Structure 1
Amino acid sequence: MRVDYFIGIVPPEEYIDRIERFQRKWISQSGVEPHITLKAQGGLTPDKKWIDKVKKICENVSPFHLSLGKPRYFGDNILYLSVYSIDLHTLHQKIVNVISPSDELIKRYFELDDFIPHLTLGKEQFGGNISTGLSKDGLKEMKCAAGEELTPYPDFKVDYIRVYELNIEKRKYETFLDIPLGG
């Protein structure tokens, strides 16, 4: 059986609700709650031996602030909110280094030098994708509306990270574990 994990950072609950209401205008189900990916699937193995390594890193990282910003695109098919935080980059590097996925996985999941923190709002429709996609015009509409409906973009304190696990039956990522920062 296939088991997928990834690690993310969750915005404040009231902003999650706001993003989900916003997304529902275009997407019936996104497949995962709004989050900022901290560590993608590569190297997060089903044996879960990596969890203790991640917990050890988190014990030694103080809570930090990050800011969400205006919408941008990856290419022309993924719309996201920008994320600003130097501490986020540092934590990402520490986690990737301790998990030590292959160079191929680092490249596939845009990690380390290719890491661009973001909160995905919508994607163009692709076959087999968990999320329900949009047309290019739908993404353009979503970008225009995001600038009005999702502002002001919040600045918030990150004091834990969330490990997500894919629930195959529901075709959705669900919370597996929250790990506090700073012990």
Structure 2
Amino acid sequence: MTKSWNSIRAYAEYMYKADAGLVPAIPVDLEVLEHREHVDQADRWFAQEVRPKGPGMRHRILVIEGKTGTGKTAYARSKGSHSRMCNIWNVAAISEDADIWILDDMVSTNSKYSLKALSQYEADFTGRYQWVKTMKVRPTVILGNSRAAITKCWSDIEGEEGEAWVARNVEWVYSGGRPFFVFP
């Protein structure tokens, strides 16, 4: 008989695993925009990246930068089943069964994360008081209001070499004040 709390906890987590990090796509049926180059650019990324990839194949990361209230989050959440972190890094909120991972308004004061890990086929993730978890990485969408706020959260991108890596591995969509949807 096991009397160790860690053993009991590990067994309970294994046997009664609940994937709280998986959310179905949110249906959005709103008016199509007239000036939609930014939406078309993001749609191309979804068409190319949201499909299974094998070992050795990387996903490019989509970053959507724009003003508050333009529908960035609703747009991303409408594209398939997803896991979403908002403001803080929380490994319990992500699922490898999701079509996409959404990092929404991550704040650098809470923690930084490895951008390069989010482009791998598989990576190890952890958080405060959480066990290390090896997961198959899903295509990742990062949402934010400014380039400075978004890049401040990256722990592994510095200097010219980091900028070159971003240029090769990140699709950057700048929406400015243009909305993704026309809200009623």
Q: TM-score, normalised by structure 2?
A: 0.24
TM-score (norm: length of structure 1): 0.24
Higher alpha-carbon Rg: 2
Greater per-residue strand proportion:
1
